[in-house]
Amino acid sequence: MPDQIPITVRHDAEQSRFSIEIAGHLAHADYTLDEGRIIFAHTFVPPELRGRGLAEHLVRAALAHARLHKLRVIPACSYVTVFIERHNEFRDLLA
């Protein structure tokens, strides 16, 4: 098993994305805001970083942000849709 490295999710409001950078590779969850709603459009993890649970880290951080800022969630991204289906604690955020 590879050494565990700390995972830091960054929120870049100017780029409308949550991201994790590891070894020069960028995983990200992109969104748009619309009248009190956050629309998750795309989640991407490069092949070099897959299998580490990074998409889950991104989406959990993004949903925590939505909850904190009282935003309703529209999961236009299939990963976010499935994630919320599997984690009931986030269903109350759905628009």
Question: Is the pTM for the entire model greater than 0.75?
Answer: yes
Domain locations along the chain: 7-31+41-51
Q: What is the pLDDT of residue 3?
A: 52
Q: What is the pLDDT of residue 81?
A: 97
Concatenated DSSP letters of 16-62:
TEEEEEETTEEEEEEEEEETTEEEEEEEE--GGGTTSSHHHHHHHHH
Concatenated DSSP letters of 63-93:
HHHHHHTTPEEEE-SHHHHHHHHH-GGGGGG
Distance CA 70, CA 57 (A): 20
Q: What does the pLDDT look like over 15-70, one tens digit per residue?
A: 999 999 999 999 999 999 999 999 999 999 999 999 999 999 999 999 999 999 99
